[in-house]
Amino acid sequence: MSLIAVGTMAFDAIETPFGKIDKIVGGSAVFVAYAASNFVKPVQQVSIIGYDFPKEELEELKKRGVQLDGVELVPDKKSFFWSGRYHEDMNSRDTLITDLNVLEDFNPKIPDTYQDAEFLMLGNLAPATQLSVIRQMKKRPKLIVMDTMNFWMEIALPDLEEVLKEVDLLMINDAEARQLSGQFSLVKAAKSILEMGPKYLIIKKGEHGALLFHGTNVFFAPALPLEDVFDPTGAGDTFAGGFVGHLAKTGDISFENMKRGIIVGSAMASFCVEKFGATRLKEITKEDIERRLQQFKELVNFEIELV
């Protein structure tokens, strides 16, 4: 089964309490691709890059089974650039710079070669852009997953509401779930969001794990307790990539299998935060992933007799 990943391919400059890096490859579609390609091939990338995006990075992605037919290269513009500084708790950050560059012109075209994809991951982009991708698919994918952010709730809510009606699963963080629903309780927020269209909702709580809601079912996956969170940039997208990669690998979109997907996503995210950008994701082996999944089992599974 193949997976389309729509999102940014960019440069980040990052400051954390542990260090600083002036320029490293980032962007939602990059993290999704590095995570998902461990589980499914091809990952069919849809993005836009400038003349400065490193050729070696594209080669590295290709080697991992990432197709780039849907990545537009703009020869006279720079790639999207984001710069941010994390606070000590690593859960909050200040955006220092956002240079849209090529992203201003992003009008994704789905190549014919992508038309059979059964899984579609829509990274955080303007809702209108996400909708245009969905409309270009001749056959509706088996599962459409989307990310979004507070910014779009503020400036493009009607568009966002329209996309929500078209997707199967929404993946946002706790603050965004509260903002979108106007509910403080995450359980109430989930109820209200599930009435907006998606049948599944994942609320990401960073170091506090993630919740999956579907009807009256709830599943909770913790984040792995780590000695150090070195750089959280891309952890949410890596989680998404692991999740949807696992679903695409197995072709099974049951609630039970989504539980496994969330654990896989959490495991991948736990690698991502160990080094700057996608550095760690490029190093890990199948065995590293297996070991980490085992750690998650030990972390949460328990046996209890009900008498």
Residues forming contacts to a copy of itself in the complex (CB under 8 A) are 88-89, 184-188, 205, 208-209, 211, 217-222, 225-229, 256, 259-260, 263-264, 290, 293-294, 296-304, 306-307
Shorter beta-carbon distance to a copy of itself: residue 56 or 88:
88
We find the least distance from the C-beta atom of residue 235 to a copy of itself, in angstroms, to be 16
CB of 219 to a copy of itself, least distance (A): 6
Q: How far is the CB of 262 from a copy of itself (least distance, A)?
A: 8
How far is residue 68's CA from residue 253's CA, in Å, rounded to a whole number? 26
Residues near 271 by Cβ (< 8 Å), separated by ≥ 6? 238, 280, 281, 284, 288, 289, 292
Q: How far is the CB of 45 from a copy of itself (least distance, A)?
A: 26
Report how far residue 57's alpha carbon sits from residue 63's, in angstroms, rounded to the nearest whole number: 10
**Shortest Cβ 280–a copy of itself spacing (Å):** 17
Q: Quick one: which H or E segment has residue 73?
A: strand 66-74
Shortest distance, position 234 Cβ to a copy of itself, whole Å: 20
User: For residue 97, what are the CA distances in angstroms to 12, 14, 15, 234, 271?
Assistant: 10, 10, 12, 17, 26
Where is 288: in which H helix or E strand?
helix 286-300
- Exposure string (b/e) for 238-269, b if CB count within 10 Å is 16 or more? bbbbbbbbbbbbeeebeeeebebbbbbbbbbb
Q: Would you say 120 or 273 has its CB closer to a copy of itself?
A: 273
Under DSSP, the state recorded for 234 is T
* Contact yes or no for 107/80 (Cβ under 8 A): no
Taking CA atoms, 64 is separated from 21, 39, 261, in Å, by 25, 10, 20
